[in-house]
A and B are shown apart, each in its own frame.
Chain A
Amino acid sequence: MKRLTEEGDLMRMATTVRKDIIEMLVKAGSGHSAGPLDLADIAVALYFNILNIDPKKKNDPARDRLYVSPGHTAPVWYATLARAGFFPVEELKTLRKLGSRLQGHLDRLTTPGVESSAASLGQGLSIACGCAYAGKLNQLAYQTYCILSDGEHDEGSVWEAISFAGHYKLAHLTAIVDRNNIQIDGPTEQVMTKEPLRERYEAFGWHVIDIDGHNMEAILDACSEAKAIVEKPVCIIAHTIPGKGVDYMEFDYKWHGTPPDKKQAREALKQLRTLGGKIESSDI
């Protein structure tokens, strides 16, 4: 796997991943659009730059770990894992089909590179805490990352995990919250108040960094900073635009759990292709 260091290369890869997501979703005929699209920049930054991982050594005890708690964002992780060499890109079109290694929600036992199955919200951070604690016991210096959705902070179990990480000062743990401000039934602050999210994490003993979740440089810098903080766990609140890259999806909570139809997908791909004009044409 080739590590990408140039911001432009990472951004182009993120666009490729977004294109993959649209193609996967339209083929599957069901699935989530908004979250996967808004996580593309973060996913690419992690797999192509930040994480110390190698698809050829998936079980290396020294590797960095990424746990994704919102399992419904599966398409962005499948696309990124495929592009990073964990399995053939061709396989992406089997998403949600019978017998596929790409289940509707993340399944560790079937998909190469997936560290944990997930979907029922509010569990991933606890698993990441266990991983970080195991690193302490085993005296391994790997970094544990956890992706959380903002909506899942409604779950009390998330706060149990936040409390645990703060109590045990799990410094090798970095949580990245996809703060896209939407959940299934509407804007997050209407469904259930999340704010002040920064202060809430801080009150539990975390160091918090707010970033623009679509700014590659900001993502890389925040992850470097998180690694450098050795006395507490770090939460990166990544402010993102749901449906990022497809104008008719952006900011609209209705695209949380809906795939585009063929016509909408054609439009989405056209929009993504014109970004930099370097994306090859796609036929669906």
Chain B
Amino acid sequence: MPIPKSAHLKRDTLSPDIDQVPTRDGYGIGLVELGEANEDVVVLCGDLSESTRSNKFQEKFPRRFIQMGVAEQNMAAVAVGLALNGKIPFVSTYAVFSPGRNWDQIRISACYNNANVKFAGAHTGVSVGPDGATHQALEDIALTRVLPRMKVFAPCDVEEARKVIHLAAQLEGPIYFRLSRAPTAAFTSEKTPFAPGKAPVFYDGKDVAIIAAGPILHSALLAADRLIERGISCRVINAVSIKPLDEKTIQDAARQCGAVVTCEEHQIYGGLGSAVAEFLATTHPVPIEFVGMKDSFGESGTPEQLLKKYKMDTEAIVDAVRRVVRRKRS
């Protein structure tokens, strides 16, 4: 079985009937757990409590829930003021607004100060769907990854999102993590390994390394499972920790597989693919193919339609693997 036991993925991981839950639900669940465990956790909300799921926290801990209105710049810097005075603030809104609108506050007030603020970017990727391009954050990894002192995570499913929230509260300093709106496969378990700077292998193989972050990771597993029938063995790596990156696992994969495909629901400029390419270019250069948004905006549609049209579905990953294999052999 190519899925290593150590990954502790659910038995029906590759089944079409697997439970579908949005990662934002993991945020809501994680916040309530944190609220119970830690008095210092506070949640700031930019008039989007239901759709970010911060309303779960609001119901249980109204005193520690701060409604900020539609004012993301103020929200980020108020969070800094809270953090500098002992609180652990979680800033909740859509990623197009935070870090989209308040990047300067995140740069100077949060990162330059090394303030202990946690930024939750909801509604990332084209799978936001019918709301269209304005609401589909495809630049947030690039915007946050570039900032000194910032750590960046992209959980692949609801359970991993819950773990990211817990980690964020423990890890000192500014952290950004991205969430998605559409229900996606809930395939990891409580026992699935997760740690900052670690990229667990979810599918073992030797011909191509698929390095993926976010719910697209599940499509990468499906692609790997399909490719094995065509004689291509893929190693699927969960790059949930985009910054810090698990350099050892990625370098080993490049050395042992000789080709890499990166997958993310994000612009290919500046995202996970760029992080992997920047690192491998100076350590172990191999052919790389990038699955992601190719310098364009999204549009309205269903998540499935959009992922297909913009080539971020299982089929697109299969194609990218076949392209990179050809390059590796030529």
Name which of A157-165, A201-209, A250-258 contacts chain B. Answer: A157-165
CB contact under 8 A between A117 and B82, given known A137-B64, A161-B74, A163-B69: no
List B contacts of A109 (CB < 8 A).
113-114
Q: Does residue A277 face the partner (Cβ distance < 8 Å to B)?
A: no
Nearest-CB residue, chain B, relative to A135: B85
Q: How distant is A138 from chain B, measured CB to nearest CB, in Å? A: 7
Q: Please determine whether A129 and B81 come into contact, CB atoms closer than 8 angstroms.
A: yes
CB contact under 8 A between A127 and B112, given known A157-B73, A163-B69, A164-B74: no
Where chain A touches its partner, the secondary structure class is: helix
Q: Does residue B142 face the partner (Cβ distance < 8 Å to A)?
A: no
Residues of B within 8 A of A (CB): 42, 63-64, 66, 68-69, 71, 73-74, 76-87, 89, 104-105, 107-109, 112-114
Q: Does residue A43 face the partner (Cβ distance < 8 Å to B)?
A: no
Q: Does residue A154 face the partner (Cβ distance < 8 Å to B)?
A: no
Q: Please determine whether B86 and A127 come into contact, CB atoms closer than 8 angstroms.
A: no
Q: Please determine whether B73 and A156 come into contact, CB atoms closer than 8 angstroms.
A: yes
Q: How distant is B281 from chain A, measured CB to nearest CB, in Å? A: 31
Give the docked Cα–Cα distance between A124 and B113 (Å): 12
List A contacts of B42 (CB < 8 A).
137
Give the docked Cα–Cα distance between A199 and B130 (Å): 44
CB contact under 8 A between A118 and B82, given known A134-B87, A137-B87: no
Q: How distant is A93 from chain B, measured CB to nearest CB, in Å? A: 24
Q: Please determine whether B112 and A133 come into contact, CB atoms closer than 8 angstroms.
A: no
List A contacts of B108 (CB < 8 A).
117-120, 123
Q: Please determine whether B87 and A127 come into contact, CB atoms closer than 8 angstroms.
A: no
Nearest-CB residue, chain B, relative to A156: B73
Q: Of A61, A116, A130, A138, which is in contact with the most chain B CB atoms at under 10 Å from its CB?
A: A130
Query: Interface size of A by Cβ–Cβ distance < 8 Å?
Result: 34
Q: Please determine whether B73 and A133 come into contact, CB atoms closer than 8 angstroms.
A: no
List B contacts of A167 (CB < 8 A).
69
Q: Of B68, B108, B112, which is in contact with the most chain A CB atoms at under 10 Å from its CB?
A: B112
List B contacts of A128 (CB < 8 A).
81
Nearest-CB residue, chain A, relative to B108: A120
**Cross-chain pairs A/B with CB under 8 angstroms, 21 sampled:** A108-B84, A115-B84, A118-B109, A122-B73, A123-B77, A123-B105, A123-B108, A124-B77, A126-B77, A127-B109, A129-B81, A131-B82, A133-B82, A134-B86, A137-B87, A138-B85, A157-B74, A157-B77, A164-B68, A164-B78, A167-B69
Nearest-CB residue, chain A, relative to B104: A120
List A contacts of B64 (CB < 8 A).
137
Quick one: which of B78, B79, B84, B112 contacts A161, CB cutoff 8 A? B78
Q: How distant is B1 from chain A, measured CB to nearest CB, in Å? A: 49
Quick one: which of B71, B86, B89, B114 contacts A164, CB cutoff 8 A? B71
CB contact under 8 A between A123 and B66, given known A131-B81, A131-B85, A134-B82: no
Q: Please determine whether B104 and A130 come into contact, CB atoms closer than 8 angstroms.
A: no
Q: Of A124, A127, A137, A167, which is in contact with the most chain B CB atoms at under 10 Å from its CB?
A: A127
Give the docked Cα–Cα distance between A161 and B102 (Å): 13
Give the docked Cα–Cα distance between A270 and B267 (Å): 60
Give the docked Cα–Cα distance between A131 and B84 (Å): 7
Q: Does residue A107 face the partner (Cβ distance < 8 Å to B)?
A: yes
CB contact under 8 A between A107 and B112, given known A130-B79, A157-B73: yes
10 additional A-B pairs beyond A108-B114, A119-B108, A124-B77, beta carbons within 8 Å, are A109-B113, A116-B81, A116-B84, A117-B113, A126-B74, A127-B78, A137-B64, A160-B74, A164-B69, A164-B78
Q: How distant is B72 from chain A, measured CB to nearest CB, in Å? A: 9
Q: Please determine whether A133 and B78 come into contact, CB atoms closer than 8 angstroms.
A: yes
List A contacts of B80 (CB < 8 A).
116, 126-127, 130
Q: How distant is A107 from chain B, measured CB to nearest CB, in Å? A: 7
Give the docked Cα–Cα distance between A160 and B112 (Å): 22
Binary interface encoding of chain A residues 130-145 relative to chain B, with 1 for a CB under 8 A from any of its CBs, else 0 = 1111110110000000
CB contact under 8 A between A160 and B85, given known A107-B112, A120-B108, A137-B64: no
Q: Please determine whether A127 and B68 come into contact, CB atoms closer than 8 angstroms.
A: no
List B contacts of A161 (CB < 8 A).
74, 77-78
Q: How distant is B71 from chain A, measured CB to nearest CB, in Å? A: 4
Give the docked Cα–Cα distance between A180 and B104 (Å): 26
Give the docked Cα–Cα distance between A36 and B173 (Å): 31
List B contacts of A67 (CB < 8 A).
81
Give the docked Cα–Cα distance between A163 and B108 (Å): 22
List A contacts of B66 (CB < 8 A).
133
Binary interface encoding of chain A residues 65-90 relative to chain B, with 1 for a CB under 8 A from any of its CBs, else 0 = 10100000000000000000000000
List B contacts of A116 (CB < 8 A).
80-81, 84, 109, 113
Give the docked Cα–Cα distance between A124 and B105 (Å): 10
CB contact under 8 A between A130 and B82, given known A157-B74, A157-B105: yes
